[in-house]
Amino acid sequence: MAVSGTAKAYHEAINYKKFGRGNDFVDIRFSGTRKYKDFPNDTRERYFGSKTFLVWTTDANHLSKTVDITFLSAGIALNVLDMKDELKEYKGWQKVGYIGLRKILYPILIRGIFFEAVYKNL
């Protein structure tokens, strides 16, 4: 969740704070030139997969979004996978509190804290 929050902060900074201006890989204004053959005139793929499954290799905007989604998904999956055995020790409303705090609120807070800390400093 920490990596997801950090990647989201970079993604948002690239899009809304003009982070990385002047850097060929980071500057969002050059995104199309790295993805397409001759942007905006020729929008065919610059290389195999540059518009689809390898779009994350074209620029920091797509890379940061891919890292965010990947680590967010992995964090959710890992968080849920270990829940079955842990739930056995809780009864009634304790289960609701356990799921609400440890499985939902804490991960959201961790991601949000890292997002805020990084975004504020970019």
Please, which pLDDT band fits residue 70 given cuts at 50, 70 and 90?
Answer: very high
pTM higher than the cut 0.85: yes
pLDDT at 101: 86
Mean pLDDT score of the chain: 92
Q: Where are the alpha helices (H) located in 1-122, listed in sequence order?
A: 2-16, 31-35, 60-81, 83-87, 93-98, 106-120
Cα separation of the two ends of the chain: 19
- pLDDT above 80: residue 78: yes
pLDDT at 66: 98
Cβ-based neighbours of 102, under 8 Å, separated by 6 or more: none
**Domain residue extents for the chain:** 2-120
Tokens of residue 104, six digits: 């939902």
